[in-house]
Structure 1
Amino acid sequence: MLLSPTELDVIGLTAALAATTTLILLVLGTPLAWWLAHRRGSASAMVEAVVALPLVLPPTVLGFYLLLLLAPSTPLGQFWEQLTGTRLAFSFSALVIGSVIYSLPFVVQPLQSAFQNLPRGLLQAGATLGATRWDQFRSLVLPLTRRSFIAAASLGFAHTVGEFGVVLMIGGNIPGETQVLSIALYDQVETLRFAEAHRLAGGLVVFSLALLFLIYRNNGPAAWRVRI
Structure 2
Amino acid sequence: MAFFRPEDLAGTLLSTLGIPPLPFSFSGLVIASMIYSLPFVVQPIQNAFLAINDKTLEAAATLRSSPWDCFLYVVLPLAKPGYISAAILGFAHTVGEFGVVLMIGGNIPKETRVISVQIYDHVEALAYEQAHSLALMMVAFAFVVLTFLYAVQKRQKNESVIGNIL
Shorter-chain TM-score: which interval?
0.7 to 0.9
Matched, 1:69 2:3: yes
Matched, 1:101 2:47: no
Moved runs in structure 1, 4+ residues, more than 4 A?
A: none
Q: How many residues align?
A: 155
Alignment gaps of 5+ in structure 2: 158-166
* Deviation, structure 1 residue 85: 6.0
User: Mapping of 1:60-139 within 5 angstroms?
Assistant: 67-84=1-18, 86-139=20-73
**What is the DSSP-based 3-state SS (H/G/I as helix, E as strand, rest coil) of the residue aligned with 2:134?**
helix
Q: Which amino acid in 1 is paired with 2:18?
A: T
Matched, 1:181 2:112: no
* Deviation, structure 1 residue 122: 1.4
**What is the DSSP-based 3-state SS (H/G/I as helix, E as strand, rest coil) of the residue aligned with 1:159?**
helix
Query: Which residue of 119, 123, 142 corresponds with 1:208?
Result: 142
**What is the DSSP-based 3-state SS (H/G/I as helix, E as strand, rest coil) of the residue aligned with 1:219?**
helix
Q: Is the 8 A contact 1:81 1:88 kept in 2?
A: no
1:88-125: per-residue Cα shift (whole Å, max 9, x none)?
21111211221111100111111111111211121122
Q: Which amino acid in 1 is paired with 2:100?
A: V
1:18-74: per-residue Cα shift (whole Å, max 9, x none)?
xxxxxxxxxxxxxxxxxxxxxxxxxxxxxxxxxxxxxxxxxxxxxxxxx12222222
After TM superposition, the score normalised by the length of structure 1 is 0.62
Q: Is the 8 A contact 1:168 1:183 kept in 2?
A: yes
After TM superposition, the score normalised by the length of structure 2 is 0.83
- In our comparison, the structure showing a higher alpha carbon Rg is 2
Q: CA RMSD in A?
A: 1.9
